[in-house]
Copies of this chain bind each other. A is one copy, B any other.
Amino acid sequence: MPPKLGILAGGGELPARLIATCRATGRAFFVLAFEGHTEAGAIADAPHAWVRLGAAGKGLKLLKEAGVEELVLAGRFKRPTLSALRPDRRAVRLFTRLGRAAFGDDGLLSTVVAELEDEGFHVVGPDSIVADFLAPAGVYGRIAPDDQARLDIEHGVDVAAALGRLDVGHAVVVRQGVVLGVEAAEGTDALIRRCGGLEGSGGVLVKVKKPKQERRVDLPTIGVDTVKAAAQAGLDGIAVEAGESLVIDRAKVVEAADEAGLFVVGVAVSG
């Protein structure tokens, strides 16, 4: 029997999906919910406790008391300001380890994972709990990208990779060779909305993994909400990196995409 799973729950659809999977497979689990990040409705029925994101000491204590051995970080975490975080003594120790140079997302998350492992937890990626989350290669639904879209995907992958090397973000929107928007701290939803507000319509959302990012946390993720936002913004489709991004509930994603007339593809990214 697999060890008890601790779900560190951020925003979005992922935590609820992991809870459903644990239930379906009979796996023991416990949810650590974070004030201002976790959606209360998504975890209300599950065994859980709430903490502030800055209360690292209390969080670790709760996880240990619950008998958790394996940990998964699931969902979006908005980067808090240091003042809003009000770090406890344990969190301050983490920041000391982090140092200034590593304050980007990649460094921050890698350090968090290393600290959790030092505390005796085994950290795994969401795709190791639900293998089906991992984006496969190929066209997912009924609609395939046309030649222009394929060129835009290629360009988007190049731009996103360059941004990823600098730890800027996962996502770009490209239309007819022109980069309409690039994601940084605002997140993918804001990026999509912004591009929808520009003149004209069409374009492709491209999401790829940052080369240096900790693979177990913060993989590029799309779900039904992403498809709906893309449709609303007038985009033609979505491309994600095959094998290195998560598609939450592919069946529903395909259904939503087919209905909206959008393509969704998994593309292999070399190097």
Which of A's residues lie within 8 Å of B, judged by CB? 78-81, 83-84, 100-101, 103-105, 151, 158-159, 162-163, 165-169, 172-173, 176-186, 190, 194-195, 198-200
Shortest distance between the CB of A198 and any CB in chain B (Å) = 6
| Most chain B CB inside 10 Å of its own CB: which residue of A173, A184, A186 | A184
> When the two chains form their complex, are residues A186 and B181 in contact, meaning their CB atoms are under 8 A apart?
yes
From A165, which residue of chain B is reached at the shortest CB distance? Answer: B162
Shortest Cβ distance from A111 into chain B, in angstroms?
13
Contact of A182 among B79, B168, B178 (CB under 8 A): B168
Q: A167-B179, A168-B182, A179-B184 are in contact. List 11 more A-B contacts (CB 8 A).
A: A79-B199, A83-B200, A84-B200, A103-B177, A104-B179, A180-B184, A182-B184, A185-B195, A186-B194, A186-B198, A194-B194
Assuming the contacts A162-B162, A190-B194, A198-B186, asked whether A168 and B179 have C-beta atoms less than 8 A apart, the reply is yes
Q: Are the CB atoms of A181 and B184 closer together than 8 Å?
A: yes
Q: Which residue of B lies closest to A161 (CB)?
A: B166
The answer on a CB contact under 8 Å between A182 and B199 is: no
Q: Are B81 and A177 in contact (CB under 8 A)?
A: no
Q: Min CB distance, A47 to chain B, in Å?
A: 30
Copies in the complex: 2
B80 to A199, Cβ gap below 8 A? yes
Q: Of residues A80, A167, A181, A182, which shows the largest number of chain B Cβ atoms within 10 Å of its Cβ?
A: A182
Q: Which residues of B contact A81 (CB under 8 A)?
A: 199-200
Q: Can you identify 7 A-B contacts, CB atoms within 8 angstroms?
A: A81-B199, A100-B177, A162-B163, A166-B179, A179-B185, A181-B184, A185-B198
- Taking CB atoms, residues of chain B closer than 8 Å to A103 are 176-178
Known interface pairs A180-B184, A182-B184, A190-B194. Does A199 touch B84 (Cβ–Cβ under 8 Å)? yes
Q: Which residues of B contact A151 (CB under 8 A)?
A: 100
Q: Are A104 and B166 in contact (CB under 8 A)?
A: no
Residues of B within 8 A of A167 (CB): 179
- Minimum C-beta distance from A58 to chain B (A): 22
Beyond A103-B176, A104-B178, is A199–B78 a contact (Cβ under 8 Å)? yes
Which 8 pairs, one residue from A and one from B, show the smallest C-beta to C-beta distance? A81-B200, A103-B177, A182-B182, A180-B185, A168-B179, A179-B184, A181-B184, A182-B184
Min Cβ gap A249→B in Å is 29
Determine the distance from Cα of A179 to Cα of B177 in the docked complex, in whole angstroms: 24
